[in-house]
Amino acid sequence: MAFDSVKAWIVVFAFAANAVTMGPMKCTGVFFLPFQLDLNATAKEASLVTSLIYGMYFFCGPIASVLSNRFGFKRTALLGGLIASVGTTVACLSPSIEVVYITLGIFIGFGSCLVLTPVYALVGQVFVDKRPLVNNIVSLGSALSAIPLGLLVQLWIDSYGWRGSVLLLGGIVLNSLLFVYLIKILSTQRGVVLRSKSRKLLNIELLRTVIFPAYCIACGLHMASMVCVSVYLVRFAQSLGISNYQAAGLTSIMGLVDIVLRPAVGYLTSIEKVGRVRVNRFVVLYVSMAVQAVTTLLLPFTRGYSEVVAVTVAYAACIGFCGALPITVLADLFGADKLPSTLGFRSFVVGTFSLATPPLIGIWVDIIGSYNVPFFASSAFSLAASFVLVLIHFLHGTSASDTGDVDST
């Protein structure tokens, strides 16, 4: 097996690891109504489950970075897969929404963080010029798995209840151990280095710059906008009288659009020019966020299923254009060798936003009694994120498409 083939298989297994960890996370919005009905949860309480999943996934980024630098990426990812699968499986025994917070919320979020932070750091170090394309391929795993899971979870809920559904999801997450172990075997046999080049557990010098904290805040705002849609889209559709299966199918539609766009966008942002136009990854990123703000602003004004689907497709297209660009631009700006630390700090900020946003929005939903609020908030968050990136770009002369890296492939 040639060395290039080894790296290709690493991408395949990283794709699969993303599919079985992040994919189930994207489908937790389907549990919103069952939590309200079976556990007597309010909108704020039901939304906190998904909020904790995303929040812990990003909030624990620095912990994942420290563990990766201290014990190696392979051991950290294996530990994460075990934690995520156990937490998801045990969630079926939860007697109250508070226990669900711990099992389904904290465990799967923290475990997935320990899996995917090392995986993305590995991919970012192995590939340089092809980094945007590879990152998008890896992140495509969750979009692919979300297509069947959106409807499957609703089918499982109708057949086995929400408890049986999370038990089945736990079995899916358990497969992350296999894919991480396969990466471990390949790297050991073929000499791919999975450790950080830096001896520091965390590079705190990054916090002394203005650009890095500002970039992290922009990523946090953008994640807050996406979490709002992820948590409330299915419940919003149900509130319009749309059937449970049609509402759950919106998750599958977003995944399908993601699959179509991400490879194309990944390729386009991997080359220097399209015709005579120079490709600037930074510009693609903040323009996509700005257009996303428009699409989410339209959702509260939809009434029928076809209108909701049309706006959902437009929103998913914006997410597809963003793709894995936030991680790619992170490596472009601050270097691939610092990825374990930059991913950790960025994840902490993003986690703070994603953890706090849904329950705060849920309070307003409970007060006003309308599921339109999350989408107005999402639009504002996305627009603010785009504005911060524009400031970074023009005030500090950032050009994410210009890097001095040489492709290691």
Cross-strand pairs, 273:
278
DSSP class of residue 160 equals H
| Position 202 confidence tier, pLDDT thresholds 50, 70, 90 | low
Query: Where does the pLDDT of residue 66 fall: very low under 50, low under 70, confident under 90, or very high at 90 and above?
Result: confident
**What pLDDT does residue 258 have?**
76
Please state the rounded mean pLDDT for residues 185-199.
57
The angle, 0 to 180 degrees and rounded to 10, between the axes of the packed helices 339-368 and 211-239 is: 40
CA distances from 276 to 23, 95, 262, 268, 287 (A): 38, 61, 22, 13, 19
Q: Tell me how far apart the alpha carbons of residues 165 and 153 are, in angstroms, rounded to a whole number.
A: 6
Q: Of the ranges 59-63, 194-198, 339-343, which is most confident?
A: 59-63
Model confidence band, residue 400 (pLDDT cutoffs 50, 70, 90): very low
| Residue percentage of the chain with pLDDT more than 70 | 84
Lowest mean pLDDT among 174-178, 201-205, 335-339, 349-353: 201-205
Long-range contacts, stretch 87-95, CB < 8 angstroms, 24+ apart? 87/111, 87/170, 88/24, 88/166, 88/169, 88/170, 88/173, 89/166, 89/167, 89/170, 89/171, 89/174, 90/170, 91/163, 91/166, 91/167, 91/170, 92/163, 92/164, 92/166, 92/167, 92/170, 93/163, 94/163
CA angle, residues 279, 134, 145, in degrees to nearest 5: 120
123-136 pLDDT per residue, tens: 766 776 666 677 77
Higher pLDDT, 407 or 175: 175
Cα torsion angle, 376, 380, 385, 387, sign:
positive
CA distance 359 to 380: 17
Lowest mean pLDDT, pick from 156-170, 259-273, 278-292, 356-370: 259-273
For position 188, what pLDDT does the model report?
A: 65
Q: Is 156's pLDDT higher than 60? A: yes
- Locate the domains of the chain by residue range: 3-191+201-395
| CB-count burial class (<10 Å; 0-12, 13-18, 19+) for 95 | exposed
Q: What's the CA gap between 109 and 105, in Å, rounded?
A: 6
Give CA–CA dist 84/175, Å, rounded. 11
Average pLDDT, the chain: 81
In this structure, of 42-51, 191-200, 328-337, 377-386, the range with the lowest mean pLDDT score is 191-200
161-170 average pLDDT score: 90
Rounded-to-integer distance, Cα 120 and Cα 141, Å: 13
Tens digit of pLDDT for each residue in 208-263? 778 888 888 999 999 899 988 988 888 899 889 898 888 888 888 887 887 788 77
What's the pLDDT tens digit per position in 331-375? 777 776 676 677 778 878 888 888 788 888 888 888 888 889 999
CATH of domain 3-191+201-395: 1.20.1250.20
Residue 141 pLDDT: 84
pLDDT at site 313 = 93
Share of residues in the chain with pLDDT > 90 (%) = 18
More confident residue, 177 or 354: 177
Could you tell me the two tokens for 389?
Answer: 């990136």
- Count Cβ atoms within 10 A of the Cβ of residue 360 and give its class: 0-12 exposed, 13-18 middle, 19 or more buried: middle
CA dihedral 162, 164, 358, 83 (to 10 degrees): 170
List % helix, strand, coil for the chain (3-state, nearest 5).
80, 0, 15
Q: How far apart are CA 399 and CA 406, in angstroms?
A: 17
Say what the pLDDT of residue 203 is. 64
Q: Residue 212: name the closest of 402, 326, 342, 339 by CA.
A: 342
Of the candidate ranges 186-200, 206-220, 295-309, 324-338, the one whose mean pLDDT is the lowest: 186-200
pTM: 0.70
Q: Is the dihedral of CA 138, 140, 143, 144 positive or negative?
A: negative
